Amino acid sequence: MLFLVFVVSPLVRKLSIRDKLFQGVGRRFSLFGTFGTLSMLAVTGLFNVYYLLGLSNLVFVVFVSLAHDVYFGPIAVNSPFY
């Protein structure tokens, strides 16, 4: 998003194909932004759990998250109440 605001926006402000350029740049770099943002979110989340709650709770949080994603998530999605 910052790349679009600070780099692309001033360059294409007066062009007639501004909308197509914004969409093209957004689609091209969305993968990098998504992985960068999700990795930063995961690292800062684990960092906060470790320093606020300790190592034993970090292991517990990771275990519960994995159990949810691997076991309980698919059961819930395949249930008749979903």
pLDDT means per 10 residues, the chain with 82 residues, are 75 82 80 85 86 81 88 87 76
The Cα-based distances of 60 to 40, 44, 47 in angstroms read 21, 17, 14
pTM over 0.75: no
Going by the DSSP 8-state scheme, the letter that residue 68 receives in this structure is I
Nearest to 26 by CA among 47, 1, 55, 60: 1
pLDDT of residue 10: 81
Question: Can you tell me which residue has the tokens 């690292």?
Answer: 43
Number of other residues whose CB lies within 10 A of the CB of residue 44: 10
Return the pLDDT at 1: 64
| Separation between Cα atoms, residue 38 and residue 15, nearest integer Å | 33
